[in-house]
Amino acid sequence: MDENDFYDLIRYRRSIRSFDPEKRVAKETLERILEAGRVAPTASNRQPIKFHLLKEGEVLSELRKCYSRSWFHDAPSVLVLTGSREDAWVRSYDGYNSLEIDAAIMMDHMILAAESEGVSTCWIIAFDPAIVRKALKLEDNEIPLIMTPLGYPPDDYQKREMPERKRLEELVKWY
């Protein structure tokens, strides 16, 4: 991939909210996506995140109850990231815990890898964590953090245009 391809991938990636339940993502493709998360950097290389990939069955059916949007229920696969605060790096100066940042970095790597594979995703954090905890039978110290469906949109799906973004000048303070 050349530099322009990478920047185009970032620029044109969108959250997709429509999935064809019949179009499954191949295991080899899912493995490449998961590998992108595995190699992502985490604070002090602690790797406090666990990946839960649900492709079918009762656990997936139970998990789907955590988020009511119909398009989420159509996705053939769902990836959930969980983690433990005890396993994450803590900044000694003020006790800041890196768990959520580590999860975000890993998920972003996987979402960009999915985009490069032609697999659609959508960040989800507005879910009921109690339902996720019960469906995945998580340990008491394991926190559900982020999830994304993984799949392909229907053939007639039209990606939306990029929403308006702030100009770079509004975001950057040069020193």
Whether 98 shows a pLDDT value over 80: the answer reads yes
**Facing residues of 175 across strands?**
none
Structural domain includes residue 4: no
pTM for the whole thing? 0.94
Q: Decide if 20 is inside a domain.
A: yes
Does residue 35 sit in helix, strand or coil? helix
pLDDT at 1 over 70: no
Domain count, the chain: 1
158 is a domain residue: no
Q: Is residue 130 part of a domain?
A: yes
Q: Is residue 166 included in any domain, yes or no?
A: no
Inform me whether the pLDDT recorded for 2 exceeds 90.
no
Residue 100 maps to which CATH number? Answer: 3.40.109.10
In the predicted model, is pLDDT for residue 118 greater than 80?
yes
- pLDDT confidence of residue 93: 98
168 lies in some domain: no
Q: Is the pLDDT of residue 110 over 80?
A: yes
Domain containing 50 equals 16-152
